[in-house]
Amino acid sequence: MILILLRKSAMLLLSAVILLLLTFWFHVRSNDLGDQDLFLRFLIYLNRILRLDFGFSAQSSRPVSGEFLEYGAATAELCLAAMIPSLAAGFFLGCFAALHKDRWLDSAITNSSIMFSSIPVFWIAQIFIALLAVRVDWIPSNGRISLLYSTEQITGFILVDTLLRDGFGDSFLNALTHFILPVLSLSILPTTEMIRIVRNSLYSVMQQNYIKAAFSRGWSSWYIIYRHGLRNAMPSILAQCGSVLFLTFTSVIIVENVYNWPGVGTWIIEAIRSGDVNVVNAYLVLVGMLFVVLNISLEFAADLSIIYLNHPGRGRSTPS
């Protein structure tokens, strides 16, 4: 286990160095450094990044890292609110599809997930706005909370903040209604991806003889899926979950821009438009690092599940 941890940290370090070299190249290109020693500049750059000092934003003249935290909280809240239900729903629908493979339930789930995954996010978001926010005017479609309520920050998560300040009052409900459309449009892609992953991994396990033997004992399907199916499919499901995260993070930029959500997505698009190199650089470093860390920790989780579920992949249970 320590060996796996070391191997993963080595991978983490390597990816981090490559990432930093790339962003340093961007840094060199965007700032005129004259004929200074590149290695020395890199060390200085590294030092600044380790202190999380990305300079000041050209637009708002505030420190970039502070701004990132503020916008990042909004994005993280949106991502979590979209991902937790979509992971759960995708998981169960995937189990259903694997259990009823090649029957109508499976083809209904699979075909509709293919259909939903081929709808572009920016398009469905605009359709939602046109139908639900403009035509019938049920749900707000702009920002995180109505301007009538104060937006003083406590944790940065608006639902938590309003809850802490007013309890289950108007402001909380208002924030909640602001969540509906962005979460809806953001959760489509991760759900379909999760369905695909769970269905394929679980189905290949459900073909095995020990599953058929379990079925022949007359046990219920969900018990068999829980006891034997998921136990054997878990490592491959966990290892593929990275793509769900990836999908969410890429589509959240689009969703934030469509719904004018004050998160990292709108922030970075605004910065690119106005040529704010410090912000772009900070974004590249921080989001890149987040991705590397998440991906590698997911792989680590998959390895851990191999160990703790006693998979034949581990050395001990191979025939001696």
**For binding to another protein (CB under 8 A), which residues are involved?**
101-102, 208-210, 212-213, 215-219, 227-228, 231-232, 309-312, 317-320
Instruction: Kindly state the smallest distance separating residue 313's Cβ from another protein, in Å.
Output: 9
How many C-beta atoms lie closer than 10 Å to residue 74's C-beta?
22
**Between 60 and 310, CB nearer to another protein:** 310
**Between 250 and 310, CB nearer to another protein:** 310
Instruction: Kindly state the smallest distance separating residue 214's Cβ from another protein, in Å.
Output: 8
Residues sharing a CB contact under 8 Å with residue 261, sequence separation 6 or more, in sequence order: 74, 75, 78, 143, 144, 182, 255
Instruction: Kindly state the smallest distance separating residue 295's Cβ from another protein, in Å.
Output: 25
The radius of gyration of the chain's CA atoms, rounded to the nearest angstrom, is 23
Pure H helices in 100-151: 104-117, 121-128
Q: What is the maximum alpha-carbon separation in the chain?
A: 77
Instruction: Kindly state the smallest distance separating residue 202's Cβ from another protein, in Å.
Output: 14
The per-residue b/e assignment along 98-123, b for 16 or more CB within 10 angstroms, e otherwise, is bbeeeeeebeebbeebeeebeeebee
**Between 167 and 319, CB nearer to another protein:** 319
Instruction: Kindly state the smallest distance separating residue 126's Cβ from another protein, in Å.
Output: 41
**Between 181 and 224, CB nearer to another protein:** 224
CA-angle at 24, arms to 18 and 30, nearest 5°? 145
Residues sharing a CB contact under 8 Å with residue 291, sequence separation 6 or more, in sequence order: 245, 246, 249
**Between 70 and 106, CB nearer to another protein:** 106
**Between 234 and 279, CB nearer to another protein:** 234
Instruction: Kindly state the smallest distance separating residue 227's Cβ from another protein, in Å.
Output: 7
